[in-house]
């Protein structure tokens, strides 16, 4: 109700302010061959400064003083469109761009244009990749991987193979908002991080906001990864797929309702199970996922979308244990064009992540899940040629099940136990404006107001002196406080309420036609947290909401950048510096026990983190050779003081390296298009080793050699480095044959470097001597994949 009023007010306000004798042109830009809408196409009036980029639904709206103009639409890899238009009144003008078919191979490479740096827009710290670029990067076992691709860009790392998720500018995995067609995805990895959950066949574009997060996003403090699924071919039936060593893929897309709509169904499944069976092992490991999307254009002003994702990992070890986990999401969207200048989208979204773990040996099962119900209404108002407004609202309801344990047999020693289920409600409203102040200066400013209610329907432990964690002065350790009672909260009570104003600001100053300087500030709040004190985030970590004992994370990020296109946009250079602070970053007491614990607050301390760095990205997006060079110099630290729990805190309350601290992160990615048949790709990565905790002594206790340890994260693993190469062969196509095939040969980790995923210390079972054991995930891995389309 309030929201409606605000919306109305805004509309009235803006229309009064900007009502002038002007005409507006709007429409949707699509690909002529498959009807996919084009995101980020540039639409402008020749010889004026009036121009706009299409939004994620391909929509644009241009307002200019009435008159005659030449409308130009460009999207690299596509033939530019030019036409005289007589702007007199409101006009609808949809355009389909033709893919540059004369040089098919060039097109593939050039289509990276939308990725070349936009020096005019204030938006900074954003990385955009499209599916074509992602597919060119050599990958492990030939499995095209969205996340591996973004990790080749500056400011993005992960804990190496075998770790789920990714880290942006020193942020934790749970500080990334990952959206698949607007649905929140809680775990981005299959098989412990070997593959991402995003099937490249179903994906149109990905955008990663490392900083300068626009006001329409909220809920995470580090980054936003916005993944858009394809709409499906609205012109003709198409089938594509690939057969690889680990998995195979198939995607089907076709028009619906006389080309008024279309759909895509893309599936992927692994057959690791098969290999293991051939090896006569009685266990299985595998994953599959399914992407679905359909759309229907009701009329010029209304379009409906339905999309869904379902993915699952399964592990079954016969008599001993089984484990399965996955994401599920569904989304209904309604695009409505209120007027030639007001575009809107309403979404109803559901998503969940759950895992189940069965230990047959001990005859029990363990389940945990997080679910959310999300309603979003977003508006974009093209007020005039100088100002565009984005505003909207978003509400999310959460259900957390931190765990239920139940016996699976009569004889099980385990009793049924349900940890307290948690509920929460999050809401946000925002408004932001993109304003062109002068020919060379643009500014984007916005404000998000977010609110979080931890809802009742559970009881909360009460602690002596209100201290869930206490410092034991005598023993010098942190311990869970003494529980003195419980407080019951009924379903209509709030356990805790938080709210925050989150200002966002970005500005761009064009120095000349080729270069610009940008600066940005964003404040972000995060109300839910992933609990993990293991070296790598695992699929079995549990999310928990802020509440009585856990405060929301609050981040401030300042960034400054220099951008330059040179040699006719063949090269682009981006240099950015950032400084980020996060308050209320959860840290864990030594030996914290996080799984199956009803009193999580008794295991955590409230810390802070800070990160700063310099990122350098040089890209070549045009020509036979394309690729980029990325380097990041950065520092990420955290500090956890004892605070009200007393004591010095973690590591004596000193600043210490976060697990995601990488001083140097260097990568080169390149693709060389030799001829119509052959394309070669290579990438090289070098990173400073991850901070770890090493033993600094030993003693005998209970007949075992027990290690004493250094301060947390005070040592480092050896550096991580790797070279991957690939070659793509496209056999000559017979005329009139719709079938197009290609072979992709790859070698991952070409010089067989044994990068340590972990080094663990222990006693040799036979000699009793202490030794260090390195776990390396992949040595050299050759692969071959066959992809096809028809």
Partner 1 sequence: MSKYIKHSLLFVFLVFVACTDVIDVEVPIAAPRLVIEASLDWKKENSGNVQIINLSLSTPYFSNDQINPVTGALVKVKNNTNGIEFDFVDQNNGQYITANFIPILNQEYTLEVVYNNEIYSAVETCMPVVNIDDVYQSTGQGFDKDALEVNVLFTDPVEIENFYLMKFQMQGGYLPALFDISDEFSDGNQMEVFYEDEDFKIGDAVDISLYGISKQYYNYIRLLIQQSAEGGPFATIPAQLKGNCINITNAENYAFGYFRLTQVAKETYTFE
Question: Which residue among 435, 693, 719, 721 contacts partner 1 (CB under 8 A)?
Answer: 693
Question: Which residue among 310, 362, 616, 684 contacts partner 1 (CB under 8 A)?
Answer: 362
- Work out how close the CB of 680 gets to partner 1 at its nearest, in angstroms, rounded to a whole number: 27
Among positions 401-460, residues that touch partner 1 (CB under 8 A) are 405, 413-415, 417
Containing H/E element for 250?
Answer: strand 247-256
Report in angstroms the alpha-carbon separations of 131 from 146, 228, 652, 663: 8, 10, 47, 30
User: Per CB under 8 A, does 288 bind partner 1?
Assistant: no
- Work out how close the CB of 576 gets to partner 1 at its nearest, in angstroms, rounded to a whole number: 31
Question: Which residue among 96, 420, 479, 654 contacts partner 1 (CB under 8 A)?
Answer: 479
User: Per CB under 8 A, does 590 bind partner 1?
Assistant: yes
- Work out how close the CB of 282 gets to partner 1 at its nearest, in angstroms, rounded to a whole number: 8
**Binding window for partner 1 (CB under 8 A); candidates: 96-104, 220-228, 474-482, 676-684:** 474-482
Among positions 150-179, residues that touch partner 1 (CB under 8 A) are 159, 162-163
Residues 591-610: x/- map of binding to partner 1 (CB under 8 A)? xxxxxx--------------
Burial 300-311 (b: 16+ CB within 10 A, else e): eeebebebbbeb
User: Per CB under 8 A, does 484 bind partner 1?
Assistant: no
Nearest Cα to 60, choosing from 100, 30, 15? 30
- Work out how close the CB of 140 gets to partner 1 at its nearest, in angstroms, rounded to a whole number: 10
Report in angstroms the alpha-carbon separations of 370 from 104, 118, 341: 45, 38, 38
Question: Which residue among 485, 648, 779, 782 contacts partner 1 (CB under 8 A)?
Answer: 779
- Work out how close the CB of 417 gets to partner 1 at its nearest, in angstroms, rounded to a whole number: 6
List, in sequence order, the alpha helices (H) in 116-203: 131-136, 146-150
- Work out how close the CB of 201 gets to partner 1 at its nearest, in angstroms, rounded to a whole number: 24
Asked if 169 and 221 touch (Cβ cutoff 8 Å), the reply is no
**Binding window for partner 1 (CB under 8 A); candidates: 304-312, 339-347, 639-647, 693-701:** 693-701
344 exposure class (CB count in 10 Å sphere: 0-12, 13-18, 19+): middle
- Using DSSP's 3-state secondary structure scheme, residue 66 falls into coil
Asked if 328 and 366 touch (Cβ cutoff 8 Å), the reply is no
- CB nearer to partner 1: pick between 401 and 453: 401
Q: Report how far residue 578's alpha carbon sits from residue 194's, in angstroms, rounded to the nearest whole number.
A: 30
**Binding window for partner 1 (CB under 8 A); candidates: 171-179, 278-286, 344-352, 506-514:** 278-286
Q: Report how far residue 653's alpha carbon sits from residue 724's, in angstroms, rounded to the nearest whole number.
A: 41
**Binding window for partner 1 (CB under 8 A); candidates: 195-203, 299-307, 530-538, 544-552:** 530-538
Q: How far apart are the first and last CA of the chain?
A: 50
Question: Which residue among 536, 621, 688, 783 contacts partner 1 (CB under 8 A)?
Answer: 536
- Work out how close the CB of 753 gets to partner 1 at its nearest, in angstroms, rounded to a whole number: 13
- Work out how close the CB of 193 gets to partner 1 at its nearest, in angstroms, rounded to a whole number: 9
- Work out how close the CB of 414 gets to partner 1 at its nearest, in angstroms, rounded to a whole number: 5
Residues 723-762: x/- map of binding to partner 1 (CB under 8 A)? -------------------------------x--xxxxxx
- CB nearer to partner 1: pick between 67 and 591: 591
**Binding window for partner 1 (CB under 8 A); candidates: 191-199, 329-337, 506-514, 674-682:** 191-199
Question: Which residue among 5, 21, 84, 476 contacts partner 1 (CB under 8 A)?
Answer: 476
Question: Which residue among 366, 463, 527, 599 contacts partner 1 (CB under 8 A)?
Answer: 366
User: Per CB under 8 A, does 280 bind partner 1?
Assistant: no
Q: Which two tokens stand for residue 756?
A: 């340590």
Nearest Cα to 232, choosing from 273, 198, 202? 202
Residue by residue, DSSP assigns 189-239 as EEGGGTEES--GGGEEEEEEESSS--TT--S-SSEEEEEEE----SSS-EE
Asked if 332 and 324 touch (Cβ cutoff 8 Å), the reply is no
Asked if 125 and 197 touch (Cβ cutoff 8 Å), the reply is no
- Work out how close the CB of 774 gets to partner 1 at its nearest, in angstroms, rounded to a whole number: 5
Asked if 650 and 605 touch (Cβ cutoff 8 Å), the reply is yes
Question: Which residue among 32, 763, 786, 788 contacts partner 1 (CB under 8 A)?
Answer: 763
| CA 609 distance to own-chain centroid | 21
- Work out how close the CB of 749 gets to partner 1 at its nearest, in angstroms, rounded to a whole number: 12
Q: Report how far residue 488's alpha carbon sits from residue 199's, in angstroms, rounded to the nearest whole number.
A: 45
722 DSSP 8-state letter: E
Residues 643-662: x/- map of binding to partner 1 (CB under 8 A)? ----------------x---
- CB nearer to partner 1: pick between 399 and 711: 711
- CB nearer to partner 1: pick between 114 and 651: 651
Report in angstroms the alpha-carbon separations of 609 from 344, 502, 551: 37, 19, 14
User: Per CB under 8 A, does 287 bind partner 1?
Assistant: no
- Using DSSP's 3-state secondary structure scheme, residue 131 falls into helix
User: Per CB under 8 A, does 704 bind partner 1?
Assistant: yes
User: Per CB under 8 A, does 719 bind partner 1?
Assistant: no
Among positions 194-223, residues that touch partner 1 (CB under 8 A) are 194
Nearest Cα to 628, choosing from 198, 156, 236? 156
Q: Report how far residue 580's alpha carbon sits from residue 558's, in angstroms, rounded to the nearest whole number.
A: 6
| Residues near partner 1 (CB under 8 A), total | 91
User: Per CB under 8 A, does 320 bind partner 1?
Assistant: yes
């Amino acid at each position: 109700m309030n929201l409606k009023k605000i919306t109305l007010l805004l509309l009235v306000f803006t229309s009064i302010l900007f009502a002038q004798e002007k005409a507006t042109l709007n429409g949707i830009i699509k690909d002529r061959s498959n009807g996919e809408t084009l995101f980020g196409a540039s639409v402008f009036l020749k010889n004026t400064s009036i121009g706009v980029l299409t939004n994620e639904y391909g929509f644009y709206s241009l307002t200019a003083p009435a008159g005659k103009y030449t409308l130009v639409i460009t999207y690299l890899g596509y033939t530019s469109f030019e036409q005289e238009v007589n702007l007199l009144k409101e006009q609808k003008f949809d355009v389909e761009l033709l893919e540059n078919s004369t040089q098919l191979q060039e097109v593939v490479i050039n289509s990276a244009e939308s990725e070349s740096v936009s020096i005019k827009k204030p938006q900074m710290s954003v990385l955009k990749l499209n599916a074509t670029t992602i597919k060119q990067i050599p990958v492990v076992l030939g499995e095209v991987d969205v996340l591996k691709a973004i990790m080749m860009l500056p400011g993005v790392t992960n804990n190496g193979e075998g770790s789920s998720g990714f880290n942006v500018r020193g942020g934790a995995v749970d500080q990334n908002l990952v959206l698949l067609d607007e649905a929140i995805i809680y775990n981005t990895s299959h098989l412990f991080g070997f593959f991402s959950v995003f099937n490249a066949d179903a994906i149109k574009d990905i955008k990663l906001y490392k900083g300068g997060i626009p006001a329409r996003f909220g809920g995470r403090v580090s980054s936003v990864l916005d993944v858009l699924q394809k709409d499906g071919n609205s012109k003709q039936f198409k089938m594509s797929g690939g057969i690889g060593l680990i998995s195979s893929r198939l995607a089907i897309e076709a028009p619906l309702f006389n080309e008024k709509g279309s759909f895509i169904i893309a599936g992927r499944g692994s057959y690791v199970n098969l290999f293991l069976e051939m090896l006569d092992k009685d266990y299985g490991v595998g994953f599959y996922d399914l992407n679905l999307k359909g759309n229907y254009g009701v009329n010029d002003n209304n379009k409906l979308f339905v999309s869904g994702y379902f993915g699952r990992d399964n592990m079954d070890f016969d008599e001993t244990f089984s484990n399965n986990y996955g994401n599920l999401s569904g989304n209904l969207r309604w695009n409505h064009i209120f007027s030639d200048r007001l575009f809107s989208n309403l979404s109803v979204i559901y998503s969940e992540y759950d895992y189940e773990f069965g230990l047959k040996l001990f005859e029990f099962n363990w389940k945990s899940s997080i679910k959310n119900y999300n309603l979003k209404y977003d508006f974009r108002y093209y007020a005039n040629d100088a100002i565009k407004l984005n505003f909207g609202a978003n509400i999310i309801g959460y259900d957390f099940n931190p765990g239920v344990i139940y016996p699976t047999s009569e004889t099980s020693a385990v009793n049924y136990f349900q940890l307290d289920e948690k509920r929460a409600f999050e809401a946000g409203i925002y408004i932001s404006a993109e304003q062109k102040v002068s020919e060379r200066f643009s500014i984007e400013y916005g404000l998000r107001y977010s609110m979080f209610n931890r809802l009742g329907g559970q009881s909360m432990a009460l602690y002596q002196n209100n201290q869930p964690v206490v410092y034991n002065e005598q023993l010098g350790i942190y311990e869970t406080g003494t529980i003195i009672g419980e407080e019951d909260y009924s379903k209509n009570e709030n356990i805790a309420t938080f709210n925050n104003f989150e200002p966002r600001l970005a500005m761009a100053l064009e120095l000349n036609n080729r270069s610009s300087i940008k600066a940005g500030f964003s404040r972000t709040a995060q109300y839910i947290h992933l609990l993990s004190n293991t070296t790598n985030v695992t699929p079995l970590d549990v999310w928990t909401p802020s509440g009585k004992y856990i405060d929301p994370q609050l981040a401030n990020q300042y960034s400054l950048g220099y951008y330059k296109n040179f040699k006719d946009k063949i090269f682009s250079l981006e240099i950015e510096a950032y400084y980020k602070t996060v308050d209320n970053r959860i840290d864990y007491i030594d030996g914290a026990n996080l799984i199956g614990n009803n009193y999580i607050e008794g295991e955590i301390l409230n810390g802070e983190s800070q990160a700063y760095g310099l990122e350098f990205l040089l890209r070549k997006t045009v020509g036979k050779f394309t690729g980029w060079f990325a380097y990041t110099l950065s520092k990420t630290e955290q500090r956890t003081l004892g605070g009200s729990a007393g004591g010095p805190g973690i590591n004596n309350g000193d600043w210490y390296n976060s697990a995601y601290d990488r001083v140097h992160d260097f990568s080169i990615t390149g693709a060389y298009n030799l001829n119509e048949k052959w394309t070669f790709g290579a990438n090289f990565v070098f990173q400073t080793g991850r901070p770890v905790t090493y033993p600094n002594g030993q003693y005998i206790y209970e007949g075992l050699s027990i290690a004493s340890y250094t301060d947390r994260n005070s040592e480092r693993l050896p550096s991580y480095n790797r070279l991957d190469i690939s070659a793509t062969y496209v056999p000559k196509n017979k005329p009139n044959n719709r079938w197009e095939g290609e072979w992709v040969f790859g070698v991952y980790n070409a010089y067989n470097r044994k990068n340590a995923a972990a080094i663990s210390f222990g006693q040799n079972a036979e000699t009793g001597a202490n030794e260090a054991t390195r776990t390396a995930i992949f040595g050299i891995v050759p692969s071959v994949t066959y992809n096809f389309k028809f």
